[in-house]
Structure 1
Amino acid sequence: MPRQAAARPVKFDAIDRAILRELQGNARITNSMLAERVGISPPSTLERVKKLESQGVIKGYAALLDPVRLNQSIAAIVHISIKEHSAAVLEEARRQLTALDEVQSCWYCAGDEDFILKVRVEDMAHYEQFVSRKLAAVPGIGKLRTSFVLSEVKDSPCVSLESMRLK
């Protein structure tokens, strides 16, 4: 399976970090309010945000939805081992796994499992159908192990900014 090229780290200063912290907390903040909070002019703030976007640091903006209110109250972590480790089989498994609607996250891993999925479904019947109809159709799956989430202690979309090296 082709490795994703490592992106070069971007150099940040304290203002960039403050901008990112504010946007992670509220991506709908106005530019003028953001400028006030980080202590620079609105044009400078807008220029910095556009630069962070063009560098790929800010990948996009999204509404955070409550899966329970959307009737997806079952969260499962699915560990998958692939039988044959050829590049073609791994790539096809990756392609098919990431196309499944129930899969929120998919990680290609080193270790006992090849892929780890975070899956959201309505109920156990939905999960059973997901496994028996959708996962069973993915070629190459050898072993499957599922852990069901009892309660969500922390699920943050935010990236830690405190340990970032400043320029």
Structure 2
Amino acid sequence: MEKLDDIDLEILRILQQDAKKTTREIAESLHLTASPVYERIKRLEKTGYIEKYVALLDKKRLNQSITAICMVSLRYHNKGFIDTFERQIKEVQECYHMAGKVDFFLKIHLESLEQYHEFVRSKLSNIENIGVLESYFVLKEITKTTTYHI
């Protein structure tokens, strides 16, 4: 894996804060010219340090103010059951295969508890091999970031 220098790391920090910054704006903040900064950004994209650029949306404006955390434990843990579960969970914002007491951690944004009930009833309950399902609901978001501290 290629070693990143301080300039590369600073470019990544800037883009994490505002991916709409132009190459020229980034170059000015680094006291460089635009051309080498442009080449560095293209290299960071090509080598996979930058996977993609996205827009972060306001869940309240989208009427999805309920955040549900769902912990799922499977009855059996062979590869086929794990692969099946991973393929069937597409409606969630985040899904992690865990080590420990639970097998999967799901994070879901919804507009109502009724919508979550329908998700559990029509989607999760139709997936074979679920042993235990625990649901938690976020009361207050204290920290939320997409930023890696590099």
TM-score bracket relative to the smaller structure: over 0.9
Shift of the alpha carbon at 1:38?
1.7
Q: Does 1:73 align with 2:65?
A: yes
Q: Does 1:42 align with 2:34?
A: yes
Q: Does 1:154 align with 2:146?
A: no
Equivalent in 128, 145, 155 of residue 117 of structure 2: 128
1:13 aligned residue: 5
Shift of the alpha carbon at 1:77?
1.0
Shift of the alpha carbon at 1:11?
1.4
Per-residue displacement from partner, 1:41-74 (whole Å, max 9, x unpaired)? 2110011001111111101001110111100010
Shift of the alpha carbon at 1:39?
2.2
Q: Among all aligned residue pairs of Structure 1 and Structure 2, give the percentage whose two residues are the same amino acid.
A: 39
Q: Give unpaired runs (5+ residues) of structure 2.
A: none
Q: Does 1:23 align with 2:15?
A: yes
CA distance in 1, matches of 2:104, 2:21: 36
CA distance in 2, matches of 1:81, 1:26: 38
Q: Does 1:108 align with 2:97?
A: yes
TM-score (structure 1 length as normaliser): 0.87
CA distance in 2, matches of 1:85, 1:67: 34
Q: Give unpaired runs (5+ residues) of structure 1.
A: 1-7, 162-167
CA distance in 1, matches of 2:115, 2:9: 42
Shift of the alpha carbon at 1:31?
0.8
Shift of the alpha carbon at 1:76?
1.1
Partner letter of residue 36 of structure 1? E
1:82 aligned residue: 74
Instruction: Please tell me the root mean square deviation across aligned C-alpha atoms, in Å.
Output: 0.9
CA distance in 1, matches of 2:120, 2:76: 20
TM-score (structure 2 length as normaliser): 0.96
Equivalent in 128, 134, 137 of residue 145 of structure 1: 134
Q: Secondary structure at the match of 1:157?
A: coil
Aligned length: 150
